[in-house]
Structure 1
Amino acid sequence: TGRDRIVDADRDTQSFVVHYENADGREHRLFARAVIDASGTWSTPSPAGGSGLAALGEKAAADRVTHRVPDLKDPAVRARYAGKRTAVIGSGASAFTALAYLADLAKSDDGNGTHATWILRRGISGSTFGGGEADQLPARGALGLAAKAAVDGGYADAVTGFRTDAFERDGEGRVILIGEDGRRLDPVDEVIVLTGFRPDLSFLDELRLGLDERLQAPVELAPLIDPNQHSCGTVYPHGVGELSHPERDVYLVGMKSYGRAPTFLAMTGYEQVRSIAAHLAGDQEAAERVELTLPETGVCGGAGLFDEPAAAEETGGGCCAAPATLTIGTAPAPASSGGC
């Protein structure tokens, strides 16, 4: 209150002030001793461009582009994709879901001509479709198997090693995707961009946050979830210690705490919030104690990473640590299988 991010004087003794608007546009403020930002990242999807910026022409093609998995139960949305050629850009659970939905549409009475082109920045290997039946989160494993069935059944064609550089429109208004290597794909009617999310930090601009320069995650958490180092989604349990910032009693939690890392699980977020709530209530022992067993995951490396053929061949694409109960501040033992 009364201090922007520059001012040091009595900063830690002041309450926080939160500015907000009602639906009718009226402005208000409230005061708080702590701020927990659990706003997520759904509203800030990443663009299609391989550099992390929008591809040339991507904004101009916005009428043919969506960054959400389409709800094909909605008649208007279903009509948009039925009988059309659709490009799906991405390699995670959202892309799997979109491919499965489009395959189901193609099999239906109104889906004649429906076809998907699946755009992957990396090649297809044993890990591409996740953990499958070995995934201890069965629904997630089923998504990967459904995506594989869509490709194997001919409802989707895979284009690998393609990093999108530009969108062009043909004479009929369809979209032609152009890769960084100069490849031009056949025109599609629609594009579904599912390349991950990034946090909106704009409304926290006057707070002093300690964020990793790559992931935009808290600096103590970032090494545990860095997709440049971790090929598996298993993330060590963590709490208030890893989520603290230079600004005392400010916390980013849930999907937003992971910044751009693609490995967030809801159960991890629940544990984060429990630990922070215990800390704010004065129960430091409970805040530092973690009783969370994470399931063995499918493979979920970062969408922005490049292929490393030698490493992929060595690991066989299926490395994941067994579930374990770990304590905050305790370094995990090296995985004996050697790859995660």
Structure 2
Amino acid sequence: MKREQDETTNEILIAGLTPYFLEKPLFWFRENLTKIKLSAKTQSWWRNRTLFLKKDQKIALSSFLRRLDELGYEKVQKVSDPLHNNFSSRNLRILSETRSNDEAVSAKQIQRGGATKSQPKFSNCSRKGYYAKGLMPGEFSRLGGTIEIFPVNSSRPLRIDFFGNRIENVAVLPKKINDEDRLLILNRKIGSKKKAELLKNLLPGDYVVHVDHGIGIYRGITVQDGTNYCVIEYAPPREGKEPDRLYVPENQLGKIDRYVGFTQPKIHRLGGELWLKMKKRIKEDVEKFARELLETYAKREITRRTPYPPDDQIQKEFEQSFEHIETEDQLQAIREIKNDRRLLRRRGAADR
């Protein structure tokens, strides 16, 4: 999905696989159009961001893919990989038949509430590299007057609602859960996104921290009596004994987090005093830091100084002597900083 911002609206481009290599019609959605029309601006935008091949031109696959990367294209997984892996002379002949940059590129602009001669034909979608399977990249589906399509160059699918030949709505849909995400769902739904992310990133052997028992080693997930448990291994209670194991039920995963540090940590013992002493010391250090931070910000608020004066001739000459040309964003930032420092109500320490 490509977006282009202008003064009045957002434009959304839907492209299948073939627009990366061949010239095909594209769909453009705009909020305030009153009719479908060809857009010269669209043609110029597409030509500047498209690699066309002339007849009889030769190009290596590696050079072609590198050029796509320079143009800002993202790798397309589901549909483009077979093309990359099976790039044959037949593919090259097809590419060589693409029209040159001098020829116009056709595009369609569609608005919510606008009318079309008929609902889009799925044969066109198929020619663009889409398959009627579901909401995965490069696929589309239809249920009555609702069309759902997942552009291969988009991270989220789109839904287009028709009422007869009238477009009722165009919406971006949440991405469908893929197989990798499903692996995080155990026998029962985990209560929060944070817990799911924790399990996704943890591997057996990683160090973890339990808020009540300290640092241990993550040993994976086990199921007992229909309940999922996170297994954490701790140091043996005495020398020569087996390590203790803590079984944390899934509804208490919020007490666990990954250990973050630059050195290998010391494994704690279940029921030991070391972790309790460490927590107490850390709590005292945090409270001390919070008091110092509060005092620092209080001093910043009561600090006063004379506001900056307007630019004089020396300042202007100094700025004009700058050998580079500032961008509009840089100039805007300079203006905002000067305005902030000239206000009486902002005579304290700078926030920028």
TM range, smaller chain: under 0.3
Task: Please identify which structure carries the higher helix content.
Answer: 2
So what's the TM-score if we normalise by structure 1? 0.20
So what's the TM-score if we normalise by structure 2? 0.19
Task: Please identify which structure carries the higher strand content.
Answer: 2
**Larger relative contact order (Cα-Cα within 8 Å, sequence gap ≥ 6):** 1
